[in-house]
Structure 1
Amino acid sequence: MTTPSTTTTPTGPRHSLAGPSPRRHRVGFAVVAAAFATAMAFATVPTPLWALYRARDGLPTVVVTVAFAVYAAGVAISLFTVGHLSDHLGRRRVLVPALALEALAALLLVLTPDVVVLVVARVLTGLAVGAITPTATAWLAELHGRTTSSRPGTAAVVATAANLGGLGLGSLLAGFLVGHLGDPLRVPHLLFLGLLLVLVLAVRAVPETVADDVRAEHRPYRVQRVAVPAAARGRYLAAALASFALFAVLGLFSSLAPSVLSSLGHAGPVPGGSTAFAVFAAAAASQVLLTRLHPDHLVRLGLVLTSVGVVVLGTGVLAASVALFVGGGVVAGAGVGALLKGALATAVGLAPAGSRGEATAGVFLAGYLGMAVPALAVGVSSTAGVAFTVSVPVLAGVVLLLLATVAVALRATGPVGSGHGEHQVRA
């Protein structure tokens, strides 16, 4: 999921390439955007299917959250091991194999819709998404820069829409397919298998934007490092904590929304898929609409909206109100979009130019921990007999506590840019 790299691009050299026309770059931009959105959509196809797996195999809730957690782990591992390689290997050399890896995951689920295969496919999907997100984001920016467009912000908007919007569309489309077609555990994956195979071929024809001399360089391999600006450690850690909290909200709706809705009397794949779509769509919309806000204002607005949203959704579970749960999720989603954008901008603003990618990596590491750990805790507690009317409000309370800690820390450390430091603490 990702929510990784929605507003940033990997660091690395940028070179202009002679050859392909602006028209070819425009077409390539559209192809990469479609591939990015489709890859992210495939990551949330299982969201409305979790309840079907549970009903068919008699699985406890913890199995669902484990399948979700291994996806988040796969994203984090890939993000740190291969996500930055396209800067010198080339965009195409990373994106094409990553899309093919997702196609393999789809094929496995078409052939054998078994829960063990599902877990394996989720690992493969996470590994693919961790490579696709930074690569596609950077490629979109570079392709757009060669189209002679007068709108420099278009690439960032499209990348955001493809990333968060794709995550929402995947759950919505899967819920619709399950509600209207037979063999629900195979048909959605079969559709995405076809789309991914077509896009693998299409992406191979997109102009490369990393120069030949850069790709020819022989560089020693290293994993992406995490850098914490020493002179602004408090503010940076506050941004990372905000990332943990906001990804916890996304993790709840990506993995457990159908189960929570079922406990509220609205079982079925369509409500689960639609709810996840609404939350991710709100996050994408807030990022697109609030592009001009200063990072400090984005963080403040995100803290308020996310806090209000989690209070409302927690109250909705306690009051057995679907409207409050979904409405709170949408408000929280809008806050998550603003807070993620602000947290990333804060981390980038605190780091020296040569360490911005490493500073961003730390924020995402905290985020993927937030995506996996709280959802897994709710799943374990549900299997132990704890009702969602207890575990979800507790999760909402934990998120509120984290957001309050972030607000206090940011208030104590001053505005963005006040703590630049030349020395780094590396992990």
Structure 2
Amino acid sequence: MLGGAVFAVCMAGTTLPTPLYGLYQEKFGFSELVVTVVYAVYAFGVIGVLLLAGNASDTVGRRPVLLAGLAFSAASAVCFLSATGMGWLYAGRLLSGLSAGLFTGAATAYVMELAPSGGATRATLVATAANMGGLGCGPLLAGVLAQYAAWPLYLPFAVHLALVAVSAVVLARLPETVRDRRPLRTVRPQRPGLPPQVRPVFVPAAIAAFVGFALFGVFTSVSPAFLAQSLDVHNRAVSGLVVALAFFASTAGQLAVDRVGVGRSLPLGCAGLLAGLALLAGALWWDLLALVVASAVVGGAGQGLAFRGALAAVAAASPPDRRAAVISMLFVVAYAGISLPVIGVGLLVGPIGLEGAGLVFIVCMAVLVTAAAGYLLRRPARASA
């Protein structure tokens, strides 16, 4: 449980700025495009770590890697606390991405390894809840503090720094689980690969992962602006809650896979993503807060179902000696979904407005997820739990 709490603290730091982008826009005077680029820098940091050092904790141990992740998280908070210009925001987001990249694999493995004998199922639930739940707690915490406390651009990061310090103390007291540790110089970059026999399963799984992460990317980068500009919702706690709901729903969706079954979770997740996109389109068209909330819940649950199903299907189809490389490739595609479509939305905001850009994004993502669902109907992905 303590390992899961440390995991959640780090992931919360990656989404902490979400309800604060409007305040930064007022302070520094940048456009919606810049908001999306600042947000997307995070994904580039995650992808870089996954490719260059995603397997580092297997070599040097879990705790050193997780302590490095906490250090990057603390440095990110310091950048936001010190922000006097755009460079600080870019640096803060990049450092946040580096912390998430180090934690994504290492913390999941660590929580599983710390579990007592026979506790693997419970450890999986803890790791899932810590990851996605932590991502949801970030905007909720920042939104509440920014709305109801003083120093909205400083207090959230000061609180997070304190939580990181406590997490470092906790982590230092937890045991190391990697027995055969080697020096850092022996770590080699991972080379994502895609064996031919995996490609029929990987293509629909990767599309679903891309669309699900893209939906999260739009929610966490531009939904606060939409709530403020189109719905006249200026309460930052509400903005943070709407974003948090998507992550909490994703947690529920991932946990539901055990009941739904891994084989059905990917097509059902695609259906949930399509429904979430449709609800978001209705929210943009009719300017209704209720539809934004419904989109967050339905789309988030679809993302959770689809992503865990995608991971299981891809892992089951991969040869044991290439499994890590294939899963790394899936994560690279997923995090590309967080960055590239979001930047595309930012580019379109100027010429066609926020609602128009959102509708173009929805149409493109709907086409992708419909193609993946159609493929799955013809050739269902088979996966083992």
Report the TM-score when normalising by structure 1: 0.86
Q: Find the structure with the greater CA-based Rg.
A: 1
Which amino acid is 1:372 matched to?
Answer: S
Q: Distance in 1 between matches of 2:54 and 2:220?
A: 23
Q: Distance in 2 between matches of 1:257 and 1:112?
A: 23
- For residues 216-248 of structure 1, the C-alpha deviation after alignment (integer angstroms, 9 at most, x for no partner) is 479843212212130241221221111111111
Q: Distance in 2 between matches of 1:412 and 1:113?
A: 54
**Native 8 Å contact 2:256 2:305 kept in 1:** no
Q: Secondary structure at the residue paired with 2:30? A: coil
The equivalences for 1:10-409 within 5 A come to 30-112=1-83, 114-144=85-115, 147-148=116-117, 150-211=118-179, 214-216=180-182, 220-262=186-228, 263-382=230-349, 384-409=350-375
Q: Distance in 2 between matches of 1:417 and 1:341?
A: 11
Deviation at 1:385, TM superposition (A): 3.3
Q: Distance in 1 between matches of 2:330 and 2:373?
A: 16
- For residues 252-301 of structure 1, the C-alpha deviation after alignment (integer angstroms, 9 at most, x for no partner) is 11111101111222124222211100111000111113324332200111
Q: Distance in 2 between matches of 1:251 and 1:180?
A: 26
Distance 1:219 1:96, change over 3 A: closer
Q: Distance in 1 between matches of 2:212 and 2:339?
A: 12
The runs of 5 or more residues in structure 1 that have no matched partner are 1-29, 419-427
Q: Distance in 2 between matches of 1:377 and 1:218?
A: 38
Q: Secondary structure at the residue paired with 1:41? A: helix
Which amino acid is 1:227 matched to?
Answer: G
Distance 1:139 1:172, change over 3 A: same
Q: Distance in 1 between matches of 2:270 and 2:193?
A: 24
**Native 8 Å contact 1:45 1:171 kept in 2:** yes
Deviation at 1:195, TM superposition (A): 1.1
Which amino acid is 1:202 matched to?
Answer: V
Q: Secondary structure at the residue paired with 2:351? A: coil
**Native 8 Å contact 1:109 1:121 kept in 2:** yes
Q: Give the corresponding residue for 1:15.
A: none
**Native 8 Å contact 1:46 1:174 kept in 2:** yes
Q: Give the corresponding residue for 1:8.
A: none
**Native 8 Å contact 1:108 1:121 kept in 2:** yes
Q: Secondary structure at the residue paired with 1:231? A: helix
Q: Distance in 1 between matches of 2:197 and 2:27?
A: 54
Distance 1:194 1:114, change over 3 A: farther
**Native 8 Å contact 1:110 1:189 kept in 2:** yes
Q: Give the corresponding residue for 1:20.
A: none
Which amino acid is 1:249 matched to?
Answer: L
Deviation at 1:171, TM superposition (A): 0.4
**Native 8 Å contact 1:71 1:126 kept in 2:** yes
Which amino acid is 1:226 matched to?
Answer: P
**Native 8 Å contact 1:165 1:280 kept in 2:** yes
Which amino acid is 1:347 matched to?
Answer: V
Which amino acid is 1:124 matched to?
Answer: L
Which amino acid is 1:345 matched to?
Answer: A
Q: Distance in 2 between matches of 1:106 and 1:328?
A: 30
Distance 1:218 1:42, change over 3 A: closer
Q: Distance in 2 between matches of 1:132 and 1:328?
A: 28
Q: Distance in 2 between matches of 1:330 and 1:161?
A: 16
Q: Distance in 2 between matches of 1:70 and 1:252?
A: 14
**Native 8 Å contact 1:244 1:370 kept in 2:** yes
Number of aligned residue pairs: give it. 383
Normalized per residue, the structure richer in helix is: 2
- For residues 329-382 of structure 1, the C-alpha deviation after alignment (integer angstroms, 9 at most, x for no partner) is 211111000000111111101101121111111111111111101111111211
Q: Secondary structure at the residue paired with 2:194? A: strand
Deviation at 1:314, TM superposition (A): 0.8
The runs of 5 or more residues in structure 2 that have no matched partner are none
Report the TM-score when normalising by structure 2: 0.95
Which amino acid is 1:344 matched to?
Answer: L
Query: More displaced, 90-99 or 105-114?
Result: 105-114
- For residues 174-197 of structure 1, the C-alpha deviation after alignment (integer angstroms, 9 at most, x for no partner) is 000001111111110011111112
Which amino acid is 1:105 matched to?
Answer: S
